[in-house]
Chain A
Amino acid sequence: MTPQADLGVFAISLAAGLIGALAGVGGGILVIPALTIVFGVDIHLAIGASIVSVIATSSGAAAAYVRDRMTDMRVGMFLELATTTGAVCGALISAIVAPAFLYVLLGVVLLGSAAMHVSRMGEETPPPDPPSAMARRLRLESSYPDRKLGREVPYSARRIPLGFVLMWIAGVVSGLLGIGSGVLKVLAMDGAMRLPMKVSSATSNFMIGVTAAASAGIYLGRGDVDPQVAAPVALGVLAGALIGARLLHHISNRTVRLVFLPVLVAVGVETIGRGLGFGV
């Protein structure tokens, strides 16, 4: 690539890292179309670069989120049990399942979730109900410091079995289709388990790196990771994620929802497009 193209890829990746760190997603939704459509990069190399982008967003943002108590590590590790198992199942059945129908199904589910997400748009923090026996036993109750609200916000996970099943499905989907793993994780934690939006986003960020790392070796061995493309993507995304992780403290849960909504809709539309055969 020319130095001008490198600079362009760096700039777009910086935006992807920034949005990804705030919304709890990997930024592939921005990186893949930009690389293929604007810079004419081969789709396989673009997907390889997006795997790098997911891990860079996750590690860059989570380094700050873990330290600042925005990531709930117990929620993250408990649910990673579901996502990693799901990802292995997804990879195993990928040879026997026709993905076209699944893409459309996933897209419809995501757009349906977007409608539910809109209905929660005005909610700053979930209602403070007492923790369930299961949440106490699994220690899925904690609090996070909200600098915007200027107080400690307590929370506890609700509907834990539902959240676990949704996370398993998120793992299957990412192993099978390689898309939407971040948005599904945020939806499971925010929508089903009713964790505060910032905690959902920061914990999703913590988790997506592990999901991507599980399949990264496959892309590397296949020759889909090209340093010429991945270098400006990785550096841009890391810079964006570090800025995003600082920015999260200065915005409200409502604003995080506002950032997440267009990402959710874009992934939904793109997924349906792929299923119908005209995606990037």
Chain B
Amino acid sequence: MKQGRKAFEVMLPLIVFCLLLGGSLTGFAQSSGQIDVSGVVVDESNEPLIGVSIRIDGTSLGTTTNIDGEYSIKGIAKDATLIFSYVGMNPQKEQVKGRTKIDVVLTTDATMLNEVVAIGYGTVKKSDLTGSVTSVKPEAITTTPSNSVEGLLQGRAAGLSVNNSSQDPGAGSTVRIRGASSLNGSNSPLVVVDGFPLGDAGDLKQINPADIVGIEILKDASASAIYGSRGANGVIMITTKKAKESKTIVNIRQQITLSQKSTKLDLWRDPVLMASLNNEGRINGGLDPLYVGKVNSTGIYYPSIEELMTTWDINTRWDEITLRDLPVSNNTTVAVQSSNEKTNFALSANYYTDQGLFINDDYKKYGYHLSVEHQLFSNFKIRVMNILSRNVRDNNSGLAYWRNPIFPVYDENGDYYLTNSQDYEHPVAITEHRKQQSKGIDVISSGTLDWQIIPQLNLTTQLNYKYGSSISDKYYPKKYTEAGTFSNGQAQIDNWQGQNLVSETFANYNQDFDKHSLSAMAGFSYETYTERSSGLTARNFVNETLGNENMGAGNPEQNSLSNGKLDTKLVSYMGRVNYTFDNRYLATVTFRADGSSKFGKNNKWAYFPSGAISWKAHQEEFISRLGIFNELKFRASYGVSGNQGISAYQTLSRYGTEKYYNNGSWVTTIGPGYVSGWTGQGGINRVWSGIPNPDLKWESTQQFDFGIDMGFFNNRLRIGFDAYIKKTKDLLRQRNLAPSSGYDRMWVNDGNIENRGVELSIDGIILSTPEWRLNGTLIMSHNKNKITNLGNTLESGLIEDPMTGMLFEYSGNSYEKYRDYINILAIGQPMNVFYGYKVDGIVQTLDEGIRAGLDGEYAQPGEFKYVDLNGDGSITEADKTIIGDPNPDLTMSLQLNLGWRNWDLGVFFNGEFGKDVYNTKAFGEPSNQPLRWTIDNPTNKYPSLRDGRQSMVSDWWVEDGSFLRIQTLTLGYTFNFKNSWICDKIRLYANVSNLYTFSKFKGYDPEVGLNGVYTGGYPRLRKWTFGVDFTF
């Protein structure tokens, strides 16, 4: 064993680092004249500090304090200097000068300026940051349970926008840093966990938020360009727990969450009103009324209004059948950590369940996180991190809770009451017979070797591996579901597996001399990603009892199989130099070269430089003399980063496969061109692709950032300000090809987007007495997004607005309600503005309608009075114009924390202002149908009820979507037990999220997807969480 270790000690440097450093090993010897030092570290109130790091200056050697704040270091030089550091405290240097007992009092650092933050391939002291980096304290956000940490980051950092429009259990979030800069590539920031670049932010379900100790948001190019072709959307750096305290600490954290709907459901409670309005709508539309006490064409009896008023006794409360009264979620985390002088570890296990609002709509996740660090030699550390997480999702969302209340659940025979053979909405039938389950396993694992070659030079090698797999089981029965009816029973099994291997090696060099301080990093990285999938579908089952358990029982002629694989590689070299002169002038230069397999063979390599300068003006005599600023720092940065967010193989020529009935039997056919999508009305026209583009490359974003950091009143008031311009060019787009080529589209780089914005954050410690504490953080961001170029007009197929000459294309989906698109991408406009007609009230007389340029049924009283904008006497496509912008002008949040003795109270407001929402439910719902236009109620606000009306996209549906939400309110109490052998600390708290939303928006909730189109869904859930933390 000992021999093996010896061999290892020799081999390691030889094999590995010689390669990198060309054998320039520097020896390290222990100096003579050694002594042993011990002591106690306490805070200002004389409380012992546990886990204070004590390091011998110029080395990586050191120790930490134990539970009583005691430490001891053996065999150090008499003239050594010890550095005591602790999170949240000002570090302190003590020269040993032969002393054997050194007691230290550390003072609180209100600013955390000495805290180190992760910036990618290294760390830097917060006070020495030259780029725009925001840190988020995880303690502030984990009182609200969440499947993934992103959802909790909403409103927590200036410039970071998080959209939680889906509330289904296990749903992710949409994350943007400083706006969207891509149309077809990804707009999500890169997530890096403990140095491991995992991928797009939005659904980091593998990491239990309770295991996170640090979150850094890298926003400007100087900070994010170190991640090169994946840095353009910003980077979220996440650091997970490592043990730091020398005693064994056990932490149990338990949260129970009860959810309730924050607004009432918009449903018919009065069948008489529903039926009479329905009859009115049908009569106005020239159809026979339904509720006349007759059987309709599909054999369903609709009672007459009189019957409904008198004898009809069915009024099914579908919402009570399909929705849970009080969905319950549970989140339990048990964590153990411990360390001794050589080894420390942190282990946690998590069990999380989340019930959706719909019955049988569930999510379950369990996992563990383990981090072990061992000091192999005095200058050599190894660290292993391992995360395993397993999740199960039973998806039963989207049930028809709005089903007609006159329909019973069961008919007289006890069968499901179906309105016709194609009634695919019966929620109970679907719940009981359909299967939609998916199970996933995720593993994240990394091993790190950390070698302090000489005091100034550190070498790190990290090998990361991520594995994710999912299997989904589905069965759609012959009756009750559309897919099942079409296929006479359809069973599916879909498999997916993704593997990510990243190997990174980098060296950090630090050298101070005189007033100069230099640190440099150089490294390289190699990454492979492999994804495999397969899908089995069987159809036509004689007996359905097994669901998808025996796919072989389907009709083999109707089976379908699919499988796929993709491989990508990324090779990178990166470097960074930080230089500081006199602790006043700072400069950072970074560089990264990325070679990606995804791009065309003529453009495999991309280069991303950045630079930043910073001036700590408060260090200047003439500023400090003013006595105003504790900190006054100016920052400026410029850099280029990229986005490679397209899928693999887009640059290769690609053939398609089809089937052909060749002289009486089916054969597979193969040749140039494949169907890459569908287009046209009803999506029945194929889109042909397959022409290679050897020039295809990354999107590149140039960003300029200017920032000021200020501290006043002994840093009790801190203000941070940033302004930026982000210009993205070479947008990845699909250009159209001439029909005679036999192809429709190919990927090219064409088009520009610009984002400009300002960010402001104000932190204040308003009150700080032994009994009372009050502090607050106000964050405001403004981002203006603008499309400046969409490429060659003809090749892009852009449409010209005849009135303004504005060039645009439709984006997103065509909405059935309007048979039209709502969003457009227009040059000179922000992404996804709404495009449609203007409406000037309601037509009151036929004459008025005709004078307004309307004709036919559109000119009738009670119709929308569309505006003839171009004044040509008729309402045509040419009268469409921009009618709304879903992008907020301002996002703002405010966190206030009040503490009194052991009590703490926190409230968090979050809001978006100056944004429009397109409310497709503004008319036609139970709440607004009764407000309709009638001859007796000639309102100008709502149209008449008329079945068969083809509504056009218009500003009538656009509402102010500004809102201010009391996002969370937390009340907690902490018990501290000194010297108790059972328990050190217990914290009890109650938290309510989505307590109240102030908004003029008439739908359930104005927080809709980024395209600003509201399509209903269900009310936002107000979640009551009760939590307890035990620390032993």
Same complex origin of A and B: no
Which A residues lie at the B interface, using CB under 8 A? none
Which B residues lie at the A interface, using CB under 8 A? none
